[in-house]
Amino acid sequence: MIIWLVLLPFAGGVLAFALARWGRVIGLLTTAGTFAVGLIFSAQIWQNGPQRYLVGGWSVPLGINFFADGLSAVMLLITGGIGTIISLYSISYFAPTARKGEWSENDTFWPLWLFLVGGLNALFLSADVFNVYVTLEVVTLAAIGLAALAGNAAALTASLRYLFAALIGSMAYLMGVALLYASYGLLDFQALQQVVQTDAPTVLALSLMTVGLLLKTALFPLHFWLPPAHSTAPAPVSAALSGLVVKGSFYITLRLWFETFYGQIHFSAGQLLGALGTAAILWGSFQAVRQKRLKLLIAYSTVGQIGYLFLLFPIITATTSRDVVAAWAWSGGLFQAISHALAKTSMFLSAGVLLKAVGTDEIKSMRGIAGHLPLTTFALALAGISLIGLPPSGGFVAKWLMMKAIIGSGQWWWIPVVTLGGLLTAGYVFLMLRYTFLPQEANHPFKPVSPVMQGTAFALAVGAVVIGFRAKELITLLNIGMGFPEVPVLENPGL
């Protein structure tokens, strides 16, 4: 079962490359199929707990080792679900090749996109620090290829910058892996956990790996490559990059910090990541407010929203056992990752709709779109609500848990970060939405846009809101295998 999650998209990618004419059909069927397998697989984890799988039967340290717990399941579900919707959208977005023998954006997109999905799935299933590196490379290379898809100067410059940043990140990470292997002769996340000590080589290894991963996750001040790359790519690619790809390296950071090295990391290291997160929230949101183009605004918003993910580090690092407060921070941070993935993909897909309808993504051009693109307007509004963290939405549940964790941990200095970040987010969301209330400028033609594109963006936005209602199940799934208290309800200190 577990192997199909990786095999299916890779096989689909090869097939889509060979049979470019059928790329869109293969793409949609493959992503949908992978999602279906992911659903069944998650149900198994829900019932039987974490699972380990040795590819080809070879055991450690020779074979490839797969491991999946609740965290992996949730990431697989997000990738599968959002991936399927992006595929559906892309069928309408990319025009099929007109004549035989020609090669178009459409033909390049599908194989790369399926490799990206396969790489992400493999990443969420890998059990050791080296395999994770390999899968991360697959993801990054596919992502850079996709980012360059538009083929114009801006896109190429941006993806080249992306490539350099990614290479430096990979190198730093790989050096860390080498150091770890030299010290312990082990690579498995969980096996390492039994033996790691806080000596100088280990500290250096973790630092190198973390810096490499932060570069790929685009945490401030290592975010410089993200806004151009995410804003010049075609809309469905931007959606995948912002919604899914940055979560891959974030996932590895979580595994390292809270599985392998949990309990060994100094308080100040967590505080440092929290401080960088804070800077990201403030800087990203501030830049987003200043943008004139919708896709750049959304890209800077990603820089800011990534900052929230790192607020869970200072809190969990400060705990010595996986207590209730750590569980709140854990589920709050991951809920932020999930709802951001949904909301952000929806926003980028809506930006694509706008581009197709008016030919530009200048925010000014959104005047009067409410009448022509009501579904897209609603999609932007709902996704915005979730990003701000207004109830009832996934973003709200994330902020709620995060705020409780902050207060419960006594690290009150993060409170203004969360509140101010929310206000700034509200600032750019409403800056965007207010144009939809303005009367439309005369002689501004609207081209019709496929209802599938509008519908998929809307569906994702609805998803970002609705997961706020099914928070309980998701949180329970997230905690499987991580050793957090099953029912994270604190005995209230006040009573």
Partner 1 sequence: MTWESAMPTLIVGTSLLTGLLIFFLEEKRQRLRSTLNLLGAGLKLVFVGIIIVGTLQGREYEFRFPLVLGFDFLLRVDMLSLLFVTLSGVLWFVTTIYAIGYLEGSEHRSRFFGFFSICVAASTGIALAGNLITFFIFYEFLTLSTYPLVVHRGTEESLRAGRTYLWYTITGGTVLFVGVAWLNVLVGDVDFSHAGSLASVAPYYHTELIAIFVLLIAGLGVKAALVPLHGWLPVAMVAPAPVSALLHAVAVVKAGAFGIVRVVYDVFGVSFANSLGVLTPLAILASITIIYGSLRAMTQDDLKKRLAYSTISQVSYITLGVALFGITGTIGSLVHLVHQGIMKITLFFCAGNVAETLGLHRISEMNGIGRRMPVTMGAFTVAALGMIGLPPIAGFISKWYLALGGLEAGKPWVVVVLLVSSLLNAAYFLPILHAAWFKKPSQSWSPRTGKLETSAMLLVPPVITAGFSLAAGLFAASNGSPLALARQIAELLYYSSP
Residue 101: how many other CB atoms lie within 10 Å: 5
The one segment of 28-36, 141-149, 259-267, 482-490 that binds partner 1 by CB under 8 A:
482-490
Sign of CA pseudo-dihedral 346, 351, 355, 358: positive
The yes or no reply on residue 472 touching partner 1 (CB under 8 A) is: yes
The yes or no reply on residue 438 touching partner 1 (CB under 8 A) is: yes
**Which CB atom, from 63 or from 371, has the smaller least distance to partner 1?**
371
Shortest CB 491 distance to partner 1, Å: 9
- Tell which positions 144-203 bind partner 1, by CB under 8 A: none
Shortest CB 423 distance to partner 1, Å: 6
**DSSP calls for 231-283:** HHS-HHHHHHIIIIIHHHHHHHHHHIIIIISTTTS-HHHHHHHHHHHHHHHHH
Single out the residue of 338, 468, 477, 482 in contact with partner 1 (rule: CB under 8 A).
468
The yes or no reply on residue 52 touching partner 1 (CB under 8 A) is: no
Name, in order, each residue with C-beta under 8 angstroms of 203's C-beta and a sequence gap of 6 or more.
Answer: none
Residue 372: how many other CB atoms lie within 10 Å: 16
Residue 489: how many other CB atoms lie within 10 Å: 9
Distances (CA, A) of 13 to 111, 181, 303, 465: 4, 33, 30, 32
The yes or no reply on residue 290 touching partner 1 (CB under 8 A) is: no
**Which CB atom, from 267 or from 469, has the smaller least distance to partner 1?**
469
Q: How far apart are CA 339 and CA 367, in angstroms?
A: 28
- Tell which positions 391-430 bind partner 1, by CB under 8 A: 391-392, 396-397, 399-401, 403-404, 407-408, 415, 419, 422-423, 426, 430
Binding mask 333-372 for partner 1 (x = CB under 8 A): -------------------------------------x--
The one segment of 89-97, 340-348, 446-454, 469-477 that binds partner 1 by CB under 8 A:
469-477
What number of chain residues touch partner 1 (CB under 8 A)?
39
Q: Is 292 helix (H, G, I), strand (E, B) or coil?
A: coil
Q: Are 15 and 26 in contact (CB under 8 A)?
A: yes
Shortest CB 274 distance to partner 1, Å: 18
Q: Which residues of 202-232 are buried (b: 16+ CB within 10 A; e: fewer)?
A: bbebbebbbbbbbbbbbbbebbebbbbbbbb
Going by C-alpha positions, the residue among 85, 369, 360, 376 that lies closest to residue 236 is 85
Shortest CB 123 distance to partner 1, Å: 28
Q: Is 65 helix (H, G, I), strand (E, B) or coil?
A: strand
The one segment of 73-81, 314-322, 344-352, 434-442 that binds partner 1 by CB under 8 A:
434-442
The yes or no reply on residue 492 touching partner 1 (CB under 8 A) is: yes
- Residue 486 carries which DSSP code? S
Shortest CB 440 distance to partner 1, Å: 10
User: What residues line the site for partner 1 (CB under 8 A)?
Assistant: 370, 374, 385, 388, 390-392, 396-397, 399-401, 403-404, 407-408, 415, 419, 422-423, 426, 430, 434, 437-439, 468-469, 471-472, 475, 487-490, 492-495
